[in-house]
Amino acid sequence: MKKILLLTTGGTIASAPGEDGLEPTLQSGGLAEMIRGITANYEVDFKDILNLDSSNIQPEEWQFIAEQVSQMHSGYDGIVITHGTDTMAYTASVLSFMLRNIPIPVVLTGSQLPILHPLTDGVENLRCAFAMAASGAPGVFVAFNRKVTLGTRAVKVRTTGFDAFESVNGPYAAMVDSAGLSLNKEVIPPLTGPFRPDLRLCSDVVLVKLTPGLNPEIFDMLLHMNYKGIVVEAFGAGGLHFIRRDLVSQLQKLVESGIAVVVCSQCLYERSDFSIYQTGRLALEKGVIQGFDMTSEAAVTKLMWALGRTQDLNEVRAIFSENFAGEITVPR
């Protein structure tokens, strides 16, 4: 039998009603009781590492989770991590970078209803996660609603539906149907070298979504707050207003001040391309970095990871031009 490690971090799947609403209370022992039918097919070890609502999982927790995986992955065929759904896509993305070239599957999952609920989706999600963890496909993934997504392509798109996650701008890594777990091997990023975890992060990164008429002075405030990186969700394929309120010149000011500025699209699907329109070309001339078809979650966490490694904007730009974990379709 495949040997699987289950790490718990809290989230809805481990929650029960409390005085102020649902709160994570169930430990791994209680979780084990609920999924005996699943774990009978594997040799499973359990470990509680956090007990948090995922809204409270931040860069420090990402580093801690990555450290735990790095220290304990040897001797296991795969790792399952239970996690709250609200920030799961961020955690999956950043783990994909910090744990690049990990030789086993690391699969995040959770649920929209607590596992103690009679109609929970948690058991089925864990069933899928264990199957993916035993698949031998290396990398970081999200398993939800009988679909498996690359960690860097997962986006939560529904607040209550069981089909909460979609694979954005990339095919699913695996699907579960009557044939069992079917891997799409073309989606699995190949190992490019030995596993050397890189847990350095710079948390001084902010995401800004443009709205028509946004005052460019907001970026002065971010500069004074000592942010090192900014991800901007632009309009469409890469629109930025510069009449009356000149965002392009403001972004140039940020770049000249040593701030890494990554610009992607607020559209969920398809790529941004700043070479199409005048506004986008002006932004490129001023030194902004294109996000192409990355999700916002991947762009934010990749920028945190890049700035954790270097403050040199040319090196950050080079990192963003490279596909590390399936997060970007590199133009040819």
d(C-alpha 257, C-alpha 205), whole Å:
15
Q: What is the pLDDT of residue 97?
A: 98
Whether residues 216 and 178 fall in one domain: no
Same domain, 68 and 142: yes
Taking the C-alpha atoms of residue 323 and residue 289, their distance in angstroms, rounded to an integer, is: 14
Residues 83 and 210 in one domain: no
Tell me, yes or no, whether 139 and 22 share the same domain.
Answer: yes
Place of tokens 């609603």: 145
Domain endpoint, select from 121, 150, 183: 183
State residue 71's pLDDT score: 97
Beta strands in 53-112 (DSSP E): 78-82, 105-109
Same domain, 7 and 127: yes
In DSSP terms, 176 is beta-bridged to 181
DSSP per residue, 30-61: HHHHHTHHHHTTSEEEEEEEEEE-GGG--HHH
b vs e for 119-157, b when ≥16 Cβ sit within 10 Å of the residue's Cβ? ebbbebbbbbbbbbbbbebbbbbbbbbbbbbbbbbbbbe
Domain shared by 166 and 311, yes or no: no
Domain end residue (candidates: 131, 153, 183): 183
State how many domains the chain has. Answer: 2
Q: Are 129 and 4 in contact (CB under 8 A)?
A: no
pTM score above 0.85: yes
| Interacting residues of 273 by C-beta distance below 8 A, sequence separation 6+ | 237, 238, 280, 290, 292
Residue 10 pLDDT: 95
Q: Which of 12, 109, 152, 279 is the catalytic position? A: 12
229 and 283 inside one domain: yes
Q: 154 φ, ψ to 5°? A: -80, 135
What's residue 316's pLDDT? 97
Give, for all 332 residues of the chain, the pLDDT tens digit: 999 999 999 999 999 887 777 888 888 899 999 999 999 999 999 999 999 999 999 999 999 999 999 999 999 999 999 999 999 999 999 999 999 999 999 999 999 999 999 999 999 999 999 999 999 999 999 999 999 999 999 999 999 999 999 999 999 999 999 999 999 999 999 999 999 999 999 999 999 999 999 999 999 999 999 999 999 999 987 778 778 988 888 988 999 999 999 999 999 998 877 676 566 667 677 788 999 999 999 999 999 999 999 999 999 999 999 999 999 987 66
DSSP secondary-structure letter at 272?
-
pLDDT at 280: 62
Residues 6+ apart with CB under 8 A from 316: 229, 260, 289, 303, 306, 307, 310
Give CA separation, 5 vs 37, 47, 58, 193, 252, in Å.
Answer: 16, 8, 23, 24, 47
Establish if 326 belongs to a structural domain: no
Query: Which residues form the domain of 262?
Result: 205-320
Task: Determine whether 12 is an active site residue.
Answer: yes
Q: Is there a single domain that holds both residue 125 and residue 35?
A: yes
